[in-house]
Structure 1
């Protein structure tokens, strides 16, 4: 198994964990109206869909993760300003942000760092 494919597998499992946390947040926070139900459903479906995209190594899945991180940060600010300030829900959202950022880091940065190291080793050996 390639080292990079292991990163994609770990990343997809992390996004799956953040999907499960998202479902828990929906049940803890509750949904007030149909618009809230629709938005939560769409973003949970996107999070679940991104698991399969990352697992199959689609390079544009990282942009979907960036959108999901932005939406989660937006949700964090909405939870902090809401009248029913729920510390547990906020901690779950922060955990979801950390997990998704870690997954994004695994599929974006680590392969580039490994490639740079390999190029440096090749350049030193050819001199």
Structure 2
């Protein structure tokens, strides 16, 4: 259900060319490049600072003016992408999406539990002979 919802979001994002759910890149996630550059988003790949330049202090690197500007830009919807990593993080942090997926899973579970064809024993088990202990006496 979660993957299906992701594909729905990807399709809408590409067709509508906008963030269809809020992007939390730079808030709920960060990327560190091999050279120590810290990015709010790997698609934008704009460094907010370098860990070496901040004595390997992530918090100091993460709280720069550049980082705040990129977070503002992302929050304002100035970019959009269908990147799986960012999308799954966004979905997990978006209560309406979580509720909708939860309802879908609940519906599917209820249907499976109530459907006689899905609830009955497999054909292999149905074709086995039934032996009653009373018949053996």
Structure scoring higher RCO (CA < 8 A, sep ≥ 6) equals 1
More helix by share: 1
> Higher Cα Rg: structure 1 or 2?
2
More strand by share: 2
- Structure 2 length as normaliser, TM-score? 0.26
